[in-house]
Amino acid sequence: MSYALLIAAAVALAAIYKFLPNKRFFPYFCAICLIVFIAAVAIHERSSNEEVKITPAQIEKIHSQQKIFADWYAEYQKDIDTLAGNWRRYHGLIENFKAEGEDPDIGDFYDQMSELEKDVLDEQLKVHMVEVPKGLDDKISGRVSGLIKKMQTYADAQTKTVTMTKESAYPVAKNNPEVLKKKINEIMIRESPAGLFIAEEVAAVRAELTLPEEFEKEAAK
């Protein structure tokens, strides 16, 4: 790279010399350019040769945090899977109810939705007990806290949607089936939780906990 810059500078100086009105000052101009070029090359070489230093203790700390996060995330993913499974059940119950035609069994739908409500309430309580694991740096703890908040917000919205749907089908109300189907559909559209997108946060945590390849190799020796 330095040689390429040197050649480019020589070509530029030749062009400047050709069109310079007063060539008496050209040597001084060249000297200044040379000094600047040498200083720039020296700074570049110095920065290129500087090694990122990390102590064995820092490597051990990162490895420890990697394990802490991996163990915590495995449990977190189980809760995400449970929430997703409950939501699939919700949509399945609604689709089955709609498919029953003009005379659906509203009582059976209510009972099934009540069972689902119990499960989503249990999961909602569980996710609100999830905490940031100890042993993580503040920055990583903040990201993990964000993951927990997203999951809890999703669980709250899911529970609200299921409960409202169940209550709308309360048998004593003697709902007109078609009116009930329309009402349930409106609840589903209006109250459904926003998608639980966590890939960006998880990728950020993993990036924070990733050692450069050369340090991983060194630590493995």
What is the per-residue DSSP string for 35-67?
HHHHHHHHHHHHHHHPPPP--HHHHHHHHHHHH
Label residue 49 by pLDDT band (50, 70, 90).
very low
CA dihedral 118, 120, 123, 124 (to 10 degrees): -110
Helices (H), the chain: 2-19, 26-49, 56-98, 106-127, 138-168, 177-191, 199-208, 213-220
Collect all residues with Cβ–Cβ distance below 8 Å to 75 and sequence separation of at least 6: 130
pLDDT in tens, 101-156: 778 888 899 999 999 999 999 999 999 999 999 999 999 999 999 999 999 999 99
Q: Report the distance separating Cα 43 and Cα 24, nearest Å.
A: 31
Label residue 176 by pLDDT band (50, 70, 90).
confident
The encoded tokens of residue 88 equal 């699939």
* Residues of the chain above pLDDT 90, percent: 52
Q: Is 187 within 8 Å of 158 (Cβ atoms)?
A: no
Q: Report the distance separating Cα 221 and Cα 212, nearest Å.
A: 15
Q: Report the distance separating Cα 23 and Cα 50, nearest Å.
A: 41
The encoded tokens of residue 23 equal 């060539």
Phi, psi (degrees; rounded to nearest 5) at 25: -95, 0
pLDDT at 20: 57
* DSSP conformation class of 209: T
SS3 category, 194: coil
pLDDT at 159: 97
pLDDT at 127: 97
Biggest CA pair distance of the chain: 105
SS3 category, 135: coil
pLDDT in tens, 6-21: 565 555 555 555 555 6
Spacing of C-alpha 216 from chain mean position = 24
